[in-house]
């Protein structure tokens, strides 16, 4: 992936809404209530104006790749991804929210980047390199996108402590 890959630009005023990227990637993660999820989705679709955005499974319609291929590309920083983890109110502790591996998670990828990736793939001449990129690591059960990473869980816990004080 060259430096001339047309990544979407993230306007400064959206950075607080869409969250922070995982280290070494362009995988932006945010969390909050279902209501805040609407604000987050509006921001994502404004950032991806024009072509819009699709889920990881939708990337296949544009780049003709497998879902593991998409996950590998996201984890390596080759595509921009926007992930939202829905928080749930705890059943046991009144007023406490939980960031759970079982909660709803939403993920969108800019269509403009999917099309650029497809164009890049069409220029590959090395068949093995092409197959490796299209197939990814073959992990069809990858939970990397669904499960909140440690840095996000830590940030969430710190915010919970501040609210209790």
| H helix runs in the chain, sequence order | 15-18, 34-47, 60-63, 67-75, 111-122, 127-135, 150-164
**Beta-carbon count within 10 A of 20 CB:** 14
Distance of CA 76 to the CA centre of its chain: 12
pLDDT of residue 30: 95
For the record, the structure tokens of 144 come out as: 């990397």
Burial of 69 (0-12, 13-18, 19+ CB in 10 A): buried
pLDDT band with cut points at 50, 70 and 90 for residue 151 = confident
Backbone φ and ψ of 92, nearest 5°:
-100, -35
101-132 pLDDT, tens per residue? 667 899 999 999 999 999 999 988 887 777 77
Question: Beta 20-21 vs 26-32: how paired, if at all?
Answer: antiparallel
Average pLDDT, stretch 1-25? Answer: 90
59-84 pLDDT, tens per residue? 999 999 998 999 999 999 999 999 99
For the record, the structure tokens of 136 come out as: 């990814």
Separation between Cα atoms, residue 78 and residue 28, nearest integer Å: 13
Backbone φ and ψ of 148, nearest 5°:
-65, 135
């Amino acid at each position: 992936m060259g430096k001339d890959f047309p990544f979407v630009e993230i306007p400064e005023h959206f950075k607080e809404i869409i969250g922070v990227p995982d280290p070494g990637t362009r995988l932006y993660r945010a969390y909050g209530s279902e209501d805040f999820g609407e604000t987050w989705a509006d921001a994502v679709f404004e950032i991806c104006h024009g072509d819009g955005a699709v889920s990881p499974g939708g990337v296949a319609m544009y780049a003709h790749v497998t879902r593991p291929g998409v996950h590998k590309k996201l984890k390596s920083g080759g595509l921009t991804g926007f992930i939202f983890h829905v928080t749930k109110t705890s059943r046991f502790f009144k007023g406490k929210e939980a960031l759970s591996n079982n909660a709803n998670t939403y993920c969108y990828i800019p269509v403009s980047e999917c099309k650029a990736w497809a164009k890049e793939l069409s220029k590959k001449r090395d068949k093995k390199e092409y197959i490796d990129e299209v197939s990814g690591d073959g992990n069809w059960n990858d939970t990397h996108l669904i499960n909140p990473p440690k840095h996000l869980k830590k940030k969430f816990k710190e915010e919970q402590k501040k609210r209790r004080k």
